[in-house]
Structure 1
Amino acid sequence: MRQPLSRELSNLLERGRDRQLRLAVTGLSQAGKTAFLTSLVNQLRHAGVEAQLDLLPVAREGRLLGAQRLNQPDLGVPRFPYDPGMAALRDTPPRWPEPTRGISELRLQLRYRPAQQGWLTPDIAHLTLDLFDYPGEWLLDLPLLQHDFYSWCHAQAQLEGPHRKALFSEWLTEIEHLDPTAEADEAQLATLAEAYAQGLRRAKQAGFSDLQPGRFLLPGELDGAPVLQFFPLPALRTPKETLEALPNTSVYATLATRFRYYQQQVVRPFYRDHFRRFDRQIVLVDVLGALNAGPERFEDLSRALRQLMQSFDYGKRSLLTRLFAPKIDRLAIAATKADHVTPDQHGNVVLLLEALLAEPLKDLRFADIPVKALSLAAIRATDAREVLHEGKRTPALKGTTLEGEEVLVYPGDVPSRLPKADFWQQQGFDFPSFRPMATDAEALSHIRMDAAIDWLIGDKLK
């Protein structure tokens, strides 16, 4: 839905003055996007009151006056559910905010005192921050724009680790005798598509990340539509030219048509309307969850993130790019759930994250795009403790599991580099999932949210 002309002109003016930033909070399903956005809004709204933001200079110096929610930039998009998220965290017992099931936006206006006063510097300045939330499952589809149906089939055929393959065993059995050159049977294709979707759902439950098409996992308004009744054809040995010459009624042509429709009518508008407009980005990664899940899932996460980061526009900002072709000019990569390991392991978590994303980071640094890696917990779920064991003090975590059991645990050591075979064979790393800590404070307790905020927008608050 187009915005009123007056609002578009106002946005254009603010972007021209560099007083408006669009922040991409990028993360796959269960990486913690909703928790991060809830905490981000909470910290900024309570800056200078209760929020602990010592690593954010504008807050530490008392210059950040706070943040206020403004009217939606796009009246056709729901507002980010900040209040329901806070209500869940304040519940008894506290609950994590509900996972994202659709697109939402939120606009904040930050007010602050500039550090340097002068003739042209106002006493009070402002920065508009646009935030955008979406299901992580839908994010998985962006790399589809780099494929046609034939190349996508070959790409999917390479994802054949033993655990993943077992989760798709029913679909693989059913599709084994499907002839791509035969005339399409609509009922058969619908049955096979559902079997493929069930495999994707099982793979997600088992901790896999590289799962396409993402709308099969969270179809929204497309549930039951023919556009979701396609799937890759494994082990294609027929030349592409031969397959593309088949009649429109063939299995191959029918699936290819649905793939193109999905690509052009579902994925491309999602990318065009949202992901081409960002100025700053933070990529949230549940590296600990992948480490907990084992080698095949760990490599699966690395592959999914490498493909995903090729879908964004990175580059230097200028007046023209701000106005007409925004590029991401600053990036943070963050390992979430830092409170699920003891503080002495946080450094290793960051090193492991950098190793996981080594190739994309090399490309970004070569292009001179500022990048920062860190570990954080947007909303704390544990307290760091020490226990006396055999005369030695050992770090530990105290928290409450999702089932309500209070525990005192040491989850294990995090490797500082990509794990080798012997790590997985002798794996001693394991952590439970915790519920959020109960608190009466208005500002949420966190780990390094202030460092993340400073890196992402601190240079605009001087």
Structure 2
Amino acid sequence: MLRNKFEQQWSVLQHKANEVVNRVRDRHIRLAVTGLSRSGKTAFITALVNQLEHAAIDGRLPLWDAQRQGRILGARRVPQQNLHIPTFAYERGLDSLFGDPPAWPEPTRGVAEVRLEIRYRTRHPLRRHLGEISTLYVDLVDYPGEWLLDLPLLDLSYEQWSEQVEQQLRRPELQQLATAWLEPRWQAEQAFEEKPASELAMRYTDYLHACKRELGLHLIQPGRFVLPGEFAGAPLLQFVPWVWDKPAGEPADGTLYATFKQRFEQYKQHLVQGFYEQHFAGFDRQIVLVDCLQPLNAGAASFGDMQQAIARIMESFAYGKSNWWRRLFSPRIDKLLFVASKADHVTPEQHGPLVSLLQHLVSSGRGQARFEGIETECLALAAIKATEVGKGQANGREFPAIRGTSLDGEPLLLFPGEVPSQIPPAQWWQNQGFDFQAFRPLPMSAHQALPHIRLDAALEFLLGDHLE
């Protein structure tokens, strides 16, 4: 028994030593992928793994220098080091994409991880002394952007958060959706009872889902209520903001108000702060996916809410130049990539305005990142291409179009409209003719790399300097 314990401790020490050596030699990088719901995180990671696995045999990645120069020898998935994190469901995603009919992978609902080993020929003069062939380990970590929206809660008391929600409920459309949990009026001093309190929390959660589904809102708090992960059904997620009559003093323990306040504080400590310490603070590089198209479809309120949500996400990043010495002790994000996803859902000449719109959306946070010495980039890409470029005709005139298949199986040929190159003014919403449609994936061969648009540019930005 003592020997087994010693062997376990020795294994842990060996793992930590290997991590240190890999970081010193720039052989290990943790790439975090996030974005709000339906921004394409799962498709992005599936495509990234697929492209890396095919890079040495049939890669179509001309914007990725190491692959274009023939220095990539291969890549493979290897067992991940963090055994407490669920493994990203890569094979299941491919099964969906190669199905009949093809379908998008099921989105992940919590943190998931996959580790890749990339072997390449180095051209770095110092590394060549250790051998021409080098290895880079890449951990891809998928987590919901909604969880980042909770980080500002760390600076709020239960009373302050409740006041924020109460102000939001002054909007008629939100108040209408909230009727089910606002009535009846609850009393702060009434005794806490588990069953009615959990039912109230469930109605509040339904309200948050309705805000996303019916109004297209993104700024949802607490984020774990709609994406609970492994905490689904836990009492930690069973509280609501207090928007009824305020207590005259500090309610006693055991009252409804006091219990909700305690759970709010525990939520911040165990889930919000815990997520930051366990995952977020350890990322080296970050990809933020933004679906600019659906909010343009949904209207000014949805787009404005998405803009605020992105601003909140930008406030969440802990920046700091990630040189090899600092990474030994406190890894920090040193590159930040913003991606306008689903670029194949508009015609090619709209990709420039799409990037420009994204740049305007993230301008304040991007400026702060660059001030801190962090390298940033904005790209429009399609991780998995779902349309083909075509031409349409109307009234005897030809117009640019995209061709694909709707999620319902209907063939489509359309021009979705012009993407604004900056934040749309009020009058744009009165006259806009934007008609974003969702497409199913194109039929694909399981023996070839997935079709994409500019995924190689993302690989070059994120990994290029580590593959010299």
Go from structure 1 to structure 2 and tell me whether the alpha carbon gap of 1:354 and 1:158 turns closer, same or farther (over 3 Å shift).
farther
Name which of 83, 96, 100 aligns with 2:91.
Answer: 83
Q: 1:461 to 1:220 in 2, by over 3 A?
A: closer
Cα distance in 2, alignment partners of residues 230 and 221 from structure 1: 17
**Which deviates more, 37-46 or 138-147?**
138-147
Corresponding position: 1:48 with 2:56? yes
Query: Is 1:252 aligned to 2:260, yes or no?
Result: no
Q: In the alignment, which residue of structure 2 is the partner of 1:133?
A: 142
1:309 positional shift = 2.3
Partner of 1:386 in structure 2?
391
Whether contact under 8 Å (1:380, 1:446) holds in the other structure is yes
**Cα deviation digits, residues 168-217 of structure 1 (max 9, x gap):** 2322343xx32334444444422321211110111121221111122222
- In the TM superposition, what whole-angstrom CA distance separates every residue of 1:369-393 from its partner, at most 9, and x where no partner exists? 1110111110011001122444543
Equivalents in 2 of 1:402, 1:36: separation in Å?
19
Q: Which amino acid aligns with 1:192?
A: L
One-letter amino acid of the structure 1 residue matched with residue 13 of structure 2: L
Matched to 2:357, the amino acid is L
- Cα gap change, 1:336/1:165 in structure 2, threshold over 3 Å: closer, same or farther? farther
1:132-281 correspondence runs (5 A): 132-160=141-169, 161-174=171-184, 177-206=185-214, 207-234=216-243, 243=249, 245-281=250-286
Give the Cα separation in 1 of the matches to 2:12 and 2:245.
50
For 1:58, the equivalent position in structure 2 comes to 66
> Aligned pair in 2 of structure 1 residues 15, 270: CA closer, same or farther (>3 Å)?
same
Q: Secondary structure, in 3 states, of the residue corresponding to 2:306?
A: helix
Count residues with an aligned counterpart: 456
Distance 1:151 1:97, change over 3 A: same
C-alpha deviation, 1:60, in angstroms: 1.0
Check 1:384–1:162 CA distance in 2 against 1; reply closer, same or farther (3 A cut).
farther
| Distance (Å, rounded) in 2 between the aligned partners of 1:439 and 1:146 | 48
| Bigger mean CA deviation after superposition, 157-166 or 403-412 | 157-166
Letter in 1 for 2:132: D
User: Retained in 2: the 8 A contact 1:117–1:123?
Assistant: no
TM-score, normalised relative to structure 1: 0.93
How much has 1:230 moved relative to structure 2?
Answer: 0.5
Q: Which residue of 1 aligns with 2:453?
A: 447
Change in 2 beyond 3 A, CA 1:220/1:58: closer
In structure 2, what is the Cα distance between the partners aligned to 1:66 and 1:149? 52
**Counterpart of 2:252 in 1: which secondary structure?**
coil
Deviations 1:417-457 (A, max 9, x none): 11111111123111211000001252000011011111111
| Structure-2 residue corresponding to 1:457 | 463
The answer to whether the aligner puts 1:21 opposite 2:29 as a matched pair is yes
Equivalent pair of 2:209/2:226 in contact (CA under 8 Å): yes
Runs of 4 or more, structure 1, over 4 Å off, are: 116-119, 235-238
User: 8 Å contact 2:187–2:244 — kept in the other structure?
Assistant: no
1:269 to partner: Cα distance: 2.0
> Is the CA contact 2:34–2:288 (under 8 Å) kept in the aligned structure 1?
yes
Counterpart of 2:356 (choices 346, 351, 357) is 351
- In 1: Cα distance, 2:137 partner to 2:230 partner: 31
SS at match of 2:91: helix
Cα distance between partner residues in 1 of 2:34 and 2:245: 33
Correspondent of 2:76 among 41, 63, 68: 68
> What residue in structure 2 maps to residue 367 of structure 1?
372
Q: Which residue of 2 aligns with 1:322?
A: 327
Q: Distance in 2 between matches of 1:39 and 1:158?
A: 42
Give the Cα separation in 1 of the matches to 2:246 and 2:239: 19
| C-alpha distance in structure 2 between counterparts of 1:202 and 1:79, whole Å | 30
In 2, the alpha carbon distance for the partners of 1:263 and 1:116 equals 45
Contact (CA 8 Å) 1:154, 1:235: kept in 2 or not? no
* 1:423 paired residue among 425, 428, 432: 428
Q: Distance in 2 between matches of 1:347 and 1:158?
A: 38
Counterpart among 278, 290, 300 of residue 295 in structure 1 = 300
Q: In terms of mean alpha carbon deviation, does 274-283 or 204-213 score higher? A: 204-213
Change (3 A) 1:133 1:391: same
**Contact 2:284-2:331 within 8 A present in 1 as well:** yes
Residue 123 in 1 paired to residue 132 in 2? yes
Aligned residues of 2:85 and 2:111 also touching (Cα < 8 A): yes
Give the superposition deviation at 1:459: 1.1
Question: What residue number does 2:3 align with?
Answer: none
CA displacement 1:253-275 (0-9 Å, x = unmatched): 21110101111122222221111
- Contact 1:387–1:395 under 8 Å retained in 2: yes
In 1, the alpha carbon distance for the partners of 2:245 and 2:58 equals: 60
For 1:144, give the aligned amino acid. L
Is the Cα–Cα contact under 8 Å of residues 59 and 67 in structure 2 kept in the other structure? no
Aligned alpha-carbon RMSD (Å): 2.2
Distance apart, 1:237 and its partner CA: 6.5
**1:92 aligned to which of 86, 100, 116:** 100
Partner SS state of residue 408, structure 1: strand
1:114·1:121 contact (CA, 8 Å) conserved in 2? no
Write the distance in 2 (CA, Å) between the matches of 1:40 and 1:269.
28
Q: Is the 8 A contact 1:47 1:53 kept in 2?
A: yes
Q: Which runs of 5+ in 2 are unaligned?
A: 1-7
